Amino acid sequence: MVPHRFKVGQDLAFNASRAEYEKVTGLYEVTRLLPSDGAELQYRIRNKGGGQERVVRESQLRHP
């Protein structure tokens, strides 16, 4: 089993699609490690500025 690349509590940037970009910019904190969706590992993240939460794939996250 491949381990998660990021840890709970870590601050990351979310690579949003063009359509979402304006609404979701800023830093996010990893709140939970989730299993794979069949293609890659997933994470639950929370926006540090607004508090919105979302589930994202590992490839959508990067170091700020």
- pLDDT digit string, tens, across residues 30-39: 999 999 989 9
pLDDT of residue 20: 60
- Distance of alpha carbon 26 from alpha carbon 11, whole angstroms: 10
Angle at the Cα of 44 from the Cα atoms of 41 and 50, rounded to 5 degrees = 145
Paired residues of 34 in beta bridges: 42
**CA 45 to chain CA mean position, Å:** 5
Q: Which pTM does this prediction carry? A: 0.85
State pLDDT tens for residues 6-60: 999 999 998 876 656 556 767 899 999 999 989 999 999 999 988 889 999 999 9
Helices (H) and strands (E) in the chain, counts: 1, 5
Residue 12: closest CA among 61, 48, 54: 61
pLDDT of residue 44: 98
pLDDT of residue 1: 75
